Amino acid sequence: MRRKLVAGNWKANGLMADARALAQSLASALWHDEVDVAVFPPFVHLSATLDTLRASPVAVGAQDSSEFPAGAYTGEVTAEMLADLGCGFVLIGHSERRTLLREDDRLIGRKLSKALACGLKPILCVGETAEERDQSRAEEVVLGQLNSIWKHLGADGLSRLTIAYEPVWAIGTGRSASPQEADEVHHWIRNWLVQRLGLPARNLRIIYGGSVNRTNAAQLFACKNIDGALVGGASLKPDEFYEIHLHAAASRLR
């Protein structure tokens, strides 16, 4: 059975004191063994967060990593630097980066290759816009994004990813996908993965992101195809993030 993953994406929020306080709250919490928990602070808060969470089961990851190796790439943060710092995970292809920074599937594929080569565990974000859903194109868009990545990485690379389904219309809007809507897309993704990878596809986690909070988490986690959550806004509130992880733990026991 797949372990659930509850991941907190802090985005570009907070100053150093906020990151330290948030990490300290998480460090003092009692986390359930059977759920994986990770947080994704801004780059400049990674070291402090890693130090604070060193003795805790909460893993730390980066919100992005460069397609480039070390070299003359001003402003870039390489995957090797992140792995060396102690990051386990990295988010790649978040819709905010796809939209605001015009990241396309080819760039995302190159970033994933680099991250995998450096031993990071990438979480690839995919999802359709409201317009695409209204045109009944959600399946085509999500599987299209996955197809591009598969062509770039091949089966071996694909089999090392975690997939986060994040409908763009649900991110930061307070309007989560319903458990049925999310579960349906996860089911499409799982079938697509099985067609490409065969049985090992059953080991890949597909997590949901988009306005997950303490109120809707239990229903989402109860879905057969939902293996955890990528939590934005609610991950900045340690009590709520902790509660979401409790729902993930409880869903394992049902």
Least separation, in Å, of the C-beta of 104 and ligand PGA?
A: 19
Q: Closest CB to ligand PGA among 201 and 247?
A: 247
Instruction: Quote the least distance from Cβ 155 to ligand PGA, whole Å.
Output: 27
Q: Which residues bind ligand PGA (CB under 6 A)?
A: 9, 166, 171-172, 209-212, 230-234
With respect to ligand PGA, which residue has the nearer C-beta, 93 or 209? 209
Q: Output the smallest distance, CB 72 to ligand PGA, in A.
A: 32
Q: What's the token pair of residue 221?
A: 């986690």
Instruction: Concatenate the DSSP letters of all residues of 115-140 into one string.
Output: HHHTT-EEEEEE---HHHHHTT-HHH
Which C-beta is closer to ligand PGA: that of 133 or that of 201? 133
Least distance CB 231 / ligand PGA (angstroms): 5
Active site residue 94: yes
Sign (positive/negative) of CA torsion 131, 207, 125, 40?
Answer: positive
Alpha helices, H only, the chain: 16-27, 46-52, 79-85, 95-100, 105-117, 130-134, 138-158, 179-197, 217-221, 238-253
Told to judge if 80 belongs to the known catalytic residues of this protein, a careful annotator would answer no
How distant is the alpha carbon of residue 69 from its chain centre? 23
Which residue's CB comes closest to ligand PGA?
A: 232
* Residue number with CB closer to ligand PGA (233 or 238): 233
Residue from 96, 103, 166, 240 carrying the catalytic annotation: 166
Taking each helix axis as running N to C, give the angle between helix 179-197 and helix 138-158, from 0 to 180 degrees, rounded to the nearest 10. 40
Catalytic residues: 94, 166
